[in-house]
């Protein structure tokens, strides 16, 4: 993920102007952002923790079909951020 390019895309997309973080996962999914990019946007724009952003993403209707890929996403986030992450979804914390 090219973080500089992602930040530029966020600025140009109007996503930063959305007052409600519930709309953000839907807009990002429609814009073909990856789940990891969506988490990055939620943490940067809405001041969410990594765990809060992950929960928002996978509790959203926009990403409901991707919950089976949770383990893959969690592993990728641990690699990107370099720290263990708290499991959320499917009964996790």
pLDDT digits (tens, 9 = 90+) for 30-62: 888 888 888 888 888 888 898 888 888 888 888
Taking the C-alpha atoms of residue 13 and residue 83, their distance in angstroms, rounded to an integer, is 30
pLDDT at 1 over 50: yes
Check pLDDT > 50 for residue 74.
yes
Q: Is the pTM of this model over 0.75?
A: no
Q: What's residue 47's pLDDT?
A: 82
Boundaries of domain holding 16? 3-81
In a domain, 8, yes or no: yes
Looking at residue 4, its pLDDT comes to 79
Instruction: Give the list of residues 6+ apart from residue 29 with CB closer than 8 angstroms, or none.
Output: 38, 62, 63
Report how many domains make up the chain: 1
Report if residue 88 sits inside a domain: no
For the chain, what is the mean pLDDT? 75
- Within a domain: residue 55? yes
């Amino acid at each position: 993920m090219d973080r500089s390019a992602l930040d530029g895309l966020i600025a140009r997309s109007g996503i930063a102007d959305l007052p409600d973080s519930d709309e953000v996962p839907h807009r990002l999914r429609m814009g073909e952002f990856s789940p990891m990019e969506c988490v990055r946007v939620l943490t940067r724009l809405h001041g969410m923790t990594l765990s809060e952003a992950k929960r928002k993403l996978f509790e959203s209707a926009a990403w409901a079909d991707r919950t089976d890929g949770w383990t893959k996403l969690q592993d990728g986030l641990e690699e990107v951020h370099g720290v263990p992450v708290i499991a959320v979804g499917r009964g996790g914390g």
